[in-house]
Structure 1
Amino acid sequence: MTTSPTRDYRGSLVEEISFPRASVVLLAGVPGAGKSTLLQRLYGVPGSSVLPTRTDDGVTVLDSAQVRGKLQPFLGRLPYRRWRPLVHLGHYVRIFGALDKGGPIVIHDCGTRPWMRRMIGERAARRGLESHLLLLDTTAEEARAGQVARGRVVDAGRFATHVMRWKKLLAKAEAGPELLMPGATSAAVLDRPAANALRRIRFTGAGEVIRLGRLPRQVRESRMGTSVAARSAG
């Protein structure tokens, strides 16, 4: 199957994105971008959830926060950096278990680890699932504010690594989604306004996006100026 070019919806208002039922969607973005917030709003994933969420229409939603919540009572007295690897391991085990059961699946992951994208894409392909990417792009300042709001701030060095890898990921995405994840058939880039406008991710048929329209001109120009300044600073 040929893949479509990566679609850039930054500066657009998107109401709905739909995919085939036999799909896995990787929702990626740097820490603090708003991935968990988006999943909570779209799927009602409770912040206190410790198990994968399965919606009434059969969508499995996997967020690393679910694993962190499960381990918190046992390891919460230790600094999070000490048991973060266990959270990642538990999240990956749940991902592969869900892939073996079939779609539709939505996965929360930073997406900045190429080996992880490769493993998800290859395993999904072996299970007959289509892979799709939703890339939630925010400025470093927006992501930092998101970390502060959730009460968990990533240390400066690790965050800088995420930001650097994210810029490389977006640059590679311009050439096509299959370069980001083996077998990926679509990718869409959303900024914070586009993600806030999104009301549904459905799994019904061929992938399509319904737009509500463009942001006001002054908002677009303001965000473009912020993005250019951020790139210059980087």
Structure 2
Amino acid sequence: MNRTTAAYAATSGLPLPKRPAAPAREACPPLPAPVVRDLRERGGHSPHALLFGPRDLVVVTGLPGSGKSTLMRRTVRARRIDSQDTRDRWDARTPSWLPYAVYRPLVRLAHYAGLRRALRAGAAVVVHDCGTQAWVRGWLAREARRRGGTLHLLMLDVTPRQALAGQRERGRGVSRYAFLRHRGAAARLLRRVERGELPDGCGSAVLLDRDAADTLRRIGFTG
């Protein structure tokens, strides 16, 4: 795994590698070797910005309560698709006595429909990922490659205790079963990324701990 060098830490922005677009009638070239940037354990001395190519897609993943939605709302300077936003809209127009489990399938359907519309529009997008739906990352990787861009993974690496505290702070949590499922999926993905084994079609990954996430001020796209 390639750890980020001190030169990156000293700059305000960290540009991520992007693959040049191929002519429409030519076969797509092989993907370059994936790159892993580890910004953990820097005590806040990490980049203030992460910049991606204009045709790229970015996935933010981590445990429930790790701060994905908070990070996206605070830093993303582009189109963002967050399942939490979709849930909030549905919560606002459904009776308070109706359990979320009843309309959760509709929330997920609306979320993926919104994501599909954003992708069809051709915009650069930052997407919230719960971490347990590998097919979503596969879908995004294919879409990024089709448009001549790259899929990038931003992973929030926080402890289960920090994630549970985050759920308490926002006043909304997941069941113990669901959390254990997320915890297992996140741990497996983190181990793979630390070995430099990124999900299929993913061109780079950035590992963030809580300090690095708090230091970040911008997630954007060039061009």
| Aligned twin of 2:86 | 67
1:126 Cα deviation after fit: 2.3
TM-score (norm 2): 0.78
CA deviations over 1:31-63 (Å, ceiling 9, x no partner): 1000111122224xxxxxxxxxxx5xxx21111
Count of residue pairs the alignment pairs up: 189
Counting only pairs closer than 5 Å after superposition, residues 1-234 of structure 1 correspond to structure 2 as 1-12=31-42, 13-43=46-76, 59-72=78-91, 73-74=93-94, 76-176=96-196, 179-180=198-199, 182-204=200-222
Contact (CA 8 Å) 2:52, 2:222: kept in 1 or not? yes
Q: Distance in 2 between matches of 1:32 and 1:164?
A: 15
Could you tell me the percent identity over the aligned residues? Answer: 41
Aligned-pair CA distance for 1:161: 0.7
Large movers: runs of 4+ above 6 Å: none
For each residue in 1:132-169, what CA deviation from the matched residue of structure 2 results, as whole angstroms up to 9, or x when unmatched?
A: 11001110000001111111111111101100110001
Q: Report the CA distance shift for 1:23/1:75 in structure 2 as closer, same or farther (over 3 A).
A: farther
1:172-223 deviations in Å (ceiling 9; x for gaps): 113436x42x322111110111000011123117xxxxxxxxxxxxxxxxxx
Unaligned runs of 5+ in 2: 1-30
SS in 2 for 1:6: strand
Measure how far apart 1:17 and its partner are.
1.2
Per the normalisation by structure 1, the TM-score is 0.75
Q: Classify 1:99/1:149 alpha carbon distance in 2 versus 1 (closer, same or farther; 3 Å).
A: same
CA distance in 1, matches of 2:216, 2:136: 26
Distance 2:140 2:54 in 1: 17
AA aligned to 1:9 is L
Would you say the 8 A contact 1:2–1:185 is kept in 2? yes
Question: Which one has the bigger helix percentage?
Answer: 1
The more displaced of 183-192 and 125-134 is 125-134
Secondary structure of 1:14's aligned partner: coil
Cα RMSD over matched residues? 1.8
Indicate conservation of the 8 Å contact 1:3/1:184, yes or no.
Answer: no
> Does the 8 Å contact 1:75/1:83 carry over to 2?
no
Hey, what does 1:208 align to over in structure 2? none
Shift of 1:66: 1.8
Gapped runs of 5+ residues in structure 1?
A: 44-54, 206-234
After TM superposition, the structure 1 stretch with the greater mean CA deviation from structure 2, 146-155 or 95-104, is 95-104
Counterparts of 1:101 and 1:71, CA distance in 2: 24
* Distance of 2:136 and 2:147 partners within structure 1: 17
Tell me: CA distance 1:9–1:79, structure 2 relative to 1, closer, same or farther (3 Å). same
Cα–Cα, structure 1 residues 93 and 129, in superposed 2: closer, same or farther, change >3 Å? farther
Partner of 2:20: none
User: Is the CA contact (8 Å cut-off) linking 1:99 and 1:127 kept in structure 2?
Assistant: no
- Residue 76 (structure 1) shift: 4.3
- 1:209 maps to which residue? none
